[in-house]
């Protein structure tokens, strides 16, 4: 298991386009227009901030989008991640998910995903999926409320660690105007398991 120091060092060594702040910052700020790329894929335009808590890491040991276990990391505070490279993120309604350049076989229903592409606006260069889930009307719900960092969140080869979103777990997608915005926090089925003792945390991305 990685210690808190190990996680900090791994994060700082791999980070390139994200600034980390404390919970005294703004929390999640996500409201962006998009560029229509065709094929139900949309490039984000505006920078955004996601709030997360690294106190618990969720493990997807077989890369199928299902949480297999979790562990405490030693972190105690919320953090805000500021994403300065929105042009590299693509909202995709194809149902496909990726990790480190490989398409995954994800269990369950995937109506949408938010993917990091190595080349801005080029879906063929999709590298990793950071968020995915189901859609009902214009509400895009994040599966388990967990974000999966682009490069695995500090995990070794063959698995990945995710961190639960802090103050929201869904988006509002306005297809007519091409806008995407965070939708506040409403505990879902996975969130209720947290109160039953399974554990609840928030999330973080590294790249």
| pLDDT, tens digit, 9 for 90 and up, residues 131-160 | 999 999 999 999 999 999 999 988 877 899
This prediction's pTM: 0.80
Residue 117 pLDDT > 70: yes
Residues 7-64 have pLDDT tens digits of 433 433 333 333 333 334 569 999 999 999 999 999 999 999 999 878 999 999 999 9
Taking all residues of the chain, what is their mean pLDDT, rounded to a whole number? 81
pLDDT on residue 101: 95
Q: How far apart are CA 133 and CA 11, in angstroms?
A: 25
Q: How far apart are CA 177 and CA 182, in angstroms?
A: 15
Q: Are 197 and 74 in contact (CB under 8 A)?
A: no
Q: How far apart are CA 52 and CA 182, in angstroms?
A: 14
DSSP state of 86: G
Closest CA to 94 of 150, 39, 172: 39
Q: How many CB atoms lie within 10 A of CB 176?
A: 6
Q: Are 2 and 154 in contact (CB under 8 A)?
A: yes
């Amino acid at each position: 298991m990685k210690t808190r120091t190990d996680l900090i060092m791994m994060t700082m060594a791999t980070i390139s386009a994200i600034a980390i702040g404390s919970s005294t910052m703004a929390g999640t700020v996500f409201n962006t227009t998009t560029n229509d790329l065709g094929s139900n894929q949309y490039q984000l335009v505006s920078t955004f901030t996601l709030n997360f808590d690294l106190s618990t890491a969720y493990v997807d040991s077989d890369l199928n989008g299902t949480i297999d276990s979790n562990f405490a990391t030693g972190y105690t505070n919320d953090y805000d991640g500021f994403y300065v490279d929105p042009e590299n993120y693509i909202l995709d309604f194809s149902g496909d998910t990726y990790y480190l350049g490989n398409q995954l076989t994800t269990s369950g229903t995937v109506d949408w995903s938010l993917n990091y592409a190595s080349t801005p606006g080029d879906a063929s260069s999709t590298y990793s999926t950071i968020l995915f889930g189901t859609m009902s009307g214009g509400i895009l719900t994040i599966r388990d409320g967990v974000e999966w960092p682009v490069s695995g969140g500090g995990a070794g080869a063959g698995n990945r660690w995710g961190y639960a979103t802090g103050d929201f777990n869904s988006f509002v997608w306005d297809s007519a105007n091409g806008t995407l915005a965070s939708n506040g926090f409403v505990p879902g089925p996975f969130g209720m398991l947290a109160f039953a003792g399974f554990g609840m945390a928030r999330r973080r991305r590294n790249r």
